[in-house]
C-alpha cells in the first residue's frame, strides 16, 4: 500500500504556524487577535500566523511571528496541537501547528502592520467567530495552557513582574473557572519561592496588598536540590 504514489508528488503541501499569544489583566486571560488584511478571510478576526519558511525550524517560525507582532524577543514558546483537515484552508492543503506564548500585556505594545488591519486583546472566554478553524485551535490551546498552569510555574509569565497574591489567585480562578478560598490558596502556594517585596499596591481604596515577585533562582534550586514539583 505505502508509497504507491510517487514520493515527489507529495511535496505539494504547505505548512503554517499559528501563534496564540496569551496575556492576563484584571482577572481575565486574553488572546491577541488580528483582523486579517489579506485573503483569505480578509477582514475577519484570526490568530496571528504565517507560513513556515523552507529552512526554518518550527520554534523559530513561532518566535518570528511573535516578534514581528509584539517586538518581544526571547520568550519561551510552547507547542500545541496540529490541525490538518484537508479543507481547512481554501487555497490548498495547509497544515498548521499551534504554538503559544505567554506575555505581560502591559510590557508589550502590539501594532498592526502589514499583518493586519487591526489587533485586539480578547478575553479567552468571550471569543467572537474567527477565521479558518481558529476557534477550535484557540479552545484546544487554552485547554493546554490550563494543563501547563497546573504543573509549571508559567503563571508568572502572565502576571506583572510585581504582583499581589490576589492577582495570582484570580488568574487561577479564571483559568479553571472556579472560586478559590483565599486562606487556602495562600497555604497552597507556600512552597513556591516568592520574594516578598517591601512595596505595596497604590491607588486602591482599601488596605493595599503586598507585592511579590517570583524567585526564579530559588525555584531552580528547589527543583534541582530537593526534587520539588510545582503543582496547583
Partner DNA sequence: GCAAAAGTGTTTGGATTACACCCATGC
Partner DNA sequence: GCATGGGTGTAATCCAAACACTTTTGC
CB 56 within 8 A of CB 92: no
Cα separation, 97 vs 65, in Å, equals 13
- When CB distances are held under 5 to 8 angstroms depending on the partner's kind, the choice from a second copy, DNA, none that residue 3 binds is a second copy
Residues 193-212 that bind DNA (CB under 7 A): 200, 204-210
Cα separation, 232 vs 229, in Å, equals 10
Give the angle 223-161-219 at the CA atoms, nearest 5°.
10
Q: List, as one string, the DSSP characters of 121-160.
A: EEETTS----STTHHHHHHHHHHHHHHHHHHSSTHHHHS-
Residues 23-42 that bind a second copy (CB under 8 A): 38
Cα separation, 98 vs 89, in Å, equals 15
- When CB distances are held under 5 to 8 angstroms depending on the partner's kind, the choice from DNA, a second copy, none that residue 178 binds is none
**Binds a second copy by CB under 8 A, chosen from 19, 21, 33, 52:** 52
Question: In the chain, what is the straight-line distance between the N-terminal and C-terminal CA atoms, in Å?
Answer: 48
Cα separation, 147 vs 165, in Å, equals 21
Cα separation, 99 vs 77, in Å, equals 6
Report if residue 111 touches a second copy, rule: CB under 8 A.
Answer: no
Q: Which listed residue (118, 143, 199, 221) is catalytic?
A: 118
- When CB distances are held under 5 to 8 angstroms depending on the partner's kind, the choice from a second copy, DNA, none that residue 223 binds is none
Residue 221 falls in the annotated catalytic set = no
Report if residue 166 touches DNA, rule: CB under 7 A.
Answer: yes
- When CB distances are held under 5 to 8 angstroms depending on the partner's kind, the choice from a second copy, DNA, none that residue 79 binds is a second copy
> Residue 15 or residue 172: which is nearer to DNA going by CB?
172
- Among the candidate windows 21-29, 93-101, 177-185, 195-203, which touches a second copy by CB under 8 A? 93-101
The catalytic site residues sit at: 118
Which residue ranges make up the site for a second copy (CB under 8 A)?
1-3, 5, 7, 10-15, 38, 50-58, 64, 68, 79, 81-82, 84-86, 91-93, 95, 97, 114-115
Amino acid at each position: 500500500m505505502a508509497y504507491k504514489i510517487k514520493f515527489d508528488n507529495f511535496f505539494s503541501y504547505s505548512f503554517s504556524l499559528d501563534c496564540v499569544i496569551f496575556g492576563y489583566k484584571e482577572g481575565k486571560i486574553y488572546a491577541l487577535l488580528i483582523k486579517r488584511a489579506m485573503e483569505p478571510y480578509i477582514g475577519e478576526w484570526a490568530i496571528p500566523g504565517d507560513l513556515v519558511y523552507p529552512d526554518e525550524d518550527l520554534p523559530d517560525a513561532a518566535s518570528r511571528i511573535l516578534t514581528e507582532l509584539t517586538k518581544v524577543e526571547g520568550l519561551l514558546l510552547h507547542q500545541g496541537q496540529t490541525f490538518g483537515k484537508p479543507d481547512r484552508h481554501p487555497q490548498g492543503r495547509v497544515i498548521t501547528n499551534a504554538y503559544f506564548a505567554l506575555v505581560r500585556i502591559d510590557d508589550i505594545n502590539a501594532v498592526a502592520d502589514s499583518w493586519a488591519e487591526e489587533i485586539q486583546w480578547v478575553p479567552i472566554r468571550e471569543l467572537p467567530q474567527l477565521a479558518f478553524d481558529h476557534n477550535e485551535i484557540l479552545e484546544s490551546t487554552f485547554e493546554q495552557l490550563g494543563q501547563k498552569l497546573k504543573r509549571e510555574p508559567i503563571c508568572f509569565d502572565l502576571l506583572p513582574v510585581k504582583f499581589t497574591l490576589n492577582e495570582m489567585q484570580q488568574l487561577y480562578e479564571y483559568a479553571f473557572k472556579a472560586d478559590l478560598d483565599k486562606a487556602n490558596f495562600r497555604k497552597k502556594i507556600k512552597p513556591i519561592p516568592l520574594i516578598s517585596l517591601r512595596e505595596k499596591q497604590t491607588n486602591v481604596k482599601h488596605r493595599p496588598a503586598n507585592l511579590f515577585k517570583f524567585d526564579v533562582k530559588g525555584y531552580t534550586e528547589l527543583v534541582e536540590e530537593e526534587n520539588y514539583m510545582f503543582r496547583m
